[in-house]
């Protein structure tokens, strides 16, 4: 370490970020990546940190252990990893990166939908294991997505990108529900939640996790879904009631589901989901691709450099913090 490095502010990464982003930060900060994301590890590193770049859940009391902290940047969009109210009360600016992984998540939605409807994995496995004719016979029962109805719960950047692809790429009817009124633009038909779940062939959960949305997708809404309808969650795990969805899949009252997020992560090995049929499970990677990681890394580094210079970040999510500071 050069002697001058000891004078540079410390930026802590909860997880690795793109190499180009680290190189961008390096002339201006000492960059340290946490060896793990256990609360005690993050608290220890926060003690000297001027900045945090966040890809994992922070402990609720992290700010009690971070007396030198100047700002937090979310490597992504969702803010549930960050104690936002506490940061605002202490005058600590928080930034995120809206739109940085929108395309990756939207593509995941359709990859999952094709997995559930066209069943290419099943066809491949049957062909390899049983033979040509048994695999070929399965195709007559597979569905298409063109001309069907997709319902989107949450119409932020991701929800609207999914809507655009669905409508213009596949000719799907698009229903949407959001607290905003932006659904009524000719692309998306605004409906209430009950109609969205009862009238859709595929329901995509893309809303943020808030006190109002926690447990929102419950027995009532899942019970309204058609027997062949599928559910795709690319938002946050606690929005969907695990017990209700697992029961519906096992009973065959819905056609299937794809889940990228879970109430507790990593998903424990004995979780009931592993015994559910017609369920695609992925480890919170919908927004992860080589392209999105580069965009998010560079965006996070640029926002952190603004904070270290004393300037407000471009995507400041808690402007009240500046008044406190």
Question: From 3.30.70.260, 3.40.50.720, 3.90.1150.10, 3.30.360.10, which CATH number describes the 3-100+290-324 domain?
Answer: 3.40.50.720
Distances (CA, A) of 227 to 65, 103, 199: 50, 30, 11
- Taking the C-alpha atoms of residue 197 and residue 217, their distance in angstroms, rounded to an integer, is 9
Question: The dihedral of CA 243, 245, 251, 253: what is its sign?
Answer: positive
The verdict on domain 102-281 having CATH code 3.40.50.720 is yes
Model confidence over 39-67: pLDDT tens digits? 999 999 999 999 999 999 999 999 999 99
Nearest to 256 by CA among 112, 158, 110: 112
Model confidence over 128-185: pLDDT tens digits? 999 999 999 999 999 999 999 999 999 999 999 999 999 999 999 999 999 875 555 6
| Strands (DSSP E) found in 148-240 | 149-153, 173-177, 189-190, 202-205, 230-233
Could you tell me if 58 and 37 are in contact, meaning their C-beta atoms sit under 8 angstroms apart? no
Domains 3-100+290-324 and 102-281 in one fold:
yes
pTM: 0.92
Could you tell me if 28 and 8 are in contact, meaning their C-beta atoms sit under 8 angstroms apart? yes
In the chain, where the domains are located:
3-100+290-324, 102-281
Model confidence over 186-228: pLDDT tens digits? 899 999 999 999 999 999 999 999 999 999 999 999 999 999 9
């Amino acid at each position: 370490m050069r002697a001058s490095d000891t004078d540079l502010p410390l930026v802590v990464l909860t997880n690795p970020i793109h190499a180009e982003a680290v190189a961008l930060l390096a002339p201006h900060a000492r960059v340290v990546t946490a060896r793990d994301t256990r609360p005690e590890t993050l608290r220890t590193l926060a003690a000297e940190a001027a900045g945090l770049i966040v890809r994992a859940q922070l402990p609720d009391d992290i700010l009690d252990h971070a007396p030198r902290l100047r700002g937090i940047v979310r490597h992504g969009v969702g803010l549930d990893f960050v104690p936002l109210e506490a940061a605002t009360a202490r005058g600590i600016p928080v930034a995120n990166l809206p739109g940085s992984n929108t395309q990756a998540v939207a593509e995941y939605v359709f990859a999952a939908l094709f997995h559930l409807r066209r069943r290419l994995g099943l066809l491949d496995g049957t062909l390899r294991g049983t033979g040509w004719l048994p695999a070929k016979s399965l195709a007559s029962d597979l569905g298409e997505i063109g001309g069907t109805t997709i319902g989107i719960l949450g119409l932020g950047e991701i929800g609207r990108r999914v809507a655009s692809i669905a409508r213009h790429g596949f000719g799907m009817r698009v229903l949407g529900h959001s607290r905003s009124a932006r659904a009524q633009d000719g692309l998306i038909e605004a409906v209430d939640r009950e109609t969205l779940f009862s009238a859709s062939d595929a329901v995509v959960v893309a809303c943020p996790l808030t006190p109002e949305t926690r447990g929102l997708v419950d027995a009532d809404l899942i019970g309204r879904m058609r027997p062949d309808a599928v559910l795709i969650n690319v938002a946050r795990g606690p929005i969907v009631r695990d017990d209700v969805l697992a029961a519906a899949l096992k009973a065959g009252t819905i056609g299937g589901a794809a889940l990228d997020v879970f109430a507790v992560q990593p998903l424990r090995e004995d979780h009931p989901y592993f015994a559910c049929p017609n369920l695609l499970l992925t480890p919170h990677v919908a927004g992860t691709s080589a392209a999105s990681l580069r965009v998010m890394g560079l965006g996070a580094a640029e926002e952190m450099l603004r904070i270290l210079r004393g300037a407000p970040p471009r995507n400041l999510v808690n402007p009240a913090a500046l008044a406190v500071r």
